[in-house]
A and B are shown apart, each in its own frame.
Chain A
Amino acid sequence: MNISGRKIKTLYIKDFKDLFKNSSVLIGCLIPVLFILLYKNMTFGNMHMPEEFLIKLGMVFNLGMVPLMIISTTVAEEKEKNTMRTLMLSNVSGLEFFISKMLVPVTFLVVSDALIYLIVGMDMKYFPGFMIFNFLGSVSMVMIGGVIGIMARDQMSAGVYQVPAMLILFLPSVLSAVNETIEKIAKCTPTEAVSNLFFSQVDKSFASAGLFFSIAVLLLWSAAATAVFALMYRKKGVDN
């Protein structure tokens, strides 16, 4: 199948502009940034929230929520309102459609991750690593968002699939300190893997076994999510 870069660019620009007109999705996507902004300015006596806690919360929250929400909701909306069908009838391929849909949350993540980092105010020497690890983590999350987009017939069903996926992907990571079982589950999530990779550069524990485990988790999630997406795409197409 030949893919047109021009069509992807046109779709991407349209999708990106449309995101800023879609208040329900936009507010959902801004929640992690707003949350971190709020937490950063909260004080307990003279105590502020620790930077490490804030950066992990922001990273996990952002990664676990934004790609799933943007892709699945916007794809479902296009199905529900028949604009996807109109695009397909205008010689746009399903792959071009999905590539543009996936590029939007990646762009949004890059910007919101940078904002979160700046709000938290960690040392800038860790910033490049923070952005790279988050970008790597976004691959699997974007693919999972794509799978939900294929499965969902309308925005309501997209919401039904999104919630458990989000809870599985980011809640264990946030609650990993509660007990060992949750910590073990969290270690197997891509959000926690990204967090571990980031903190390994802060702790300078680059050669630890935990680091290799995190890389493996991330690769496995990315490969599995891409495979499931490819399988679903071949089986159901874009307009089921």
Chain B
Amino acid sequence: MENLMQLKEVCLRLDSDFAIQNLTLEVKKGEIFGFLGPSGAGKTTTIKILTKQLNRESGEIMLFNKPIEQVVRDDYDRIGILSDTSALYERMSIEENLKFFAEIRNVGKGAVEEILKRVGLYEQKKRPFKKCSRGMKQRAILAAAVIHKPELLFLDEPTSGLDPAVTLEIHKLLRDLNQSGTTIFLTTHNMEEADKLCYRVGIIDRGRLIACGAPQDLKLEFARDEIEILTKEKKTITVSKNEEGAKKIQELIAAGDCLTVHSQEPNLEEIFLQLTGREF
């Protein structure tokens, strides 16, 4: 798959500390790439560098197959950005807000109707933004960010502080957007969210990329060398992934004493713990 974005040994210091250190990664066209890490790891800084809100100190960045220095203002019309602080105008209705952003992005008014239906806000379009619920607000903000059908969408903690039901709605929307061709670069500290949504994830800690790959591949890579067996007596037996362990499982199955067999794959949070020795 073609790369839409590529970073090579990118560095940036903020207040003399490295915010980003030798960051190398690529985002392929059509994927949802999850950028994970705890608060202060460098996720938002990376988005700011990629969207030219901050300048890197060294390293190379390619965006839409050209060096970022050559990326002009028109290219940024191919991008949508939703940050954790994005907001719409409170005294305007959802529809007025979206019409305004449609004008700014130079897309026809028809796009407003389409996106309102897509994010499920068509019925409430006349409601002033300030009178919307948190979930409605987040959907409206997302609609404004994607009204011009961007090729690349940066999402900075899009579900931060939202309740599980709204989070699920946003996830559905993101999958839908991705299926219609939008590449998504998503930062989150919610490992479960990344696991559910992303084709590939990069884990960042203190400005360094410490792991990168498909969630399933990472889990297999960091899987413990153990298999857990639940017996009829509800006892858990742990065996190694070797000849001896295989023999033990065989025996238990033959004796009809085996209820379940589970390999021990860590979740992304446990991988982070293994890599850094710290809690996420």
Chain A residues in contact with chain B, CB under 8 A? 2, 6-7, 10-11, 14, 18, 21-22, 81-83, 85-93
Contact = CB atoms under 8 A, between A and B. Distances in A.
Given A2-B73, A6-B106, A18-B91, A89 B86 contact: yes
A90 B92 CA distance: 18
A86 B91 contact: no
Interface residues of B, number: 25
A200 to B, nearest CB: 43
Interface string B53-75: 10000000000000000000100
Interface of B: 51, 53, 73, 76-77, 81-83, 85-92, 100-101, 103-106, 141, 144-145
B86 A86 contact: yes
Contacts of A2: 73
Nearest to B101: A90
A81 B77 CA distance: 23
A22 B88 contact: no
A122 to B, nearest CB: 37
Nearest to A91: B76
B104 A89 contact: no
A85 B85 contact: yes
A18 B92 contact: yes
A18 B104 contact: no
A89 B51 contact: yes
B86 A85 contact: yes
Contacts of B51: 89
A129 B82 CA distance: 49
A143 to B, nearest CB: 25
A22 B104 contact: no
Contact of B83 (A7, A83, A85): A85
Nearest to A20: B91
Given A6-B106, A91-B77, A92-B104, 5 more contacts: A83-B88, A85-B85, A85-B86, A86-B88, A89-B86
Contacts of A92: 104
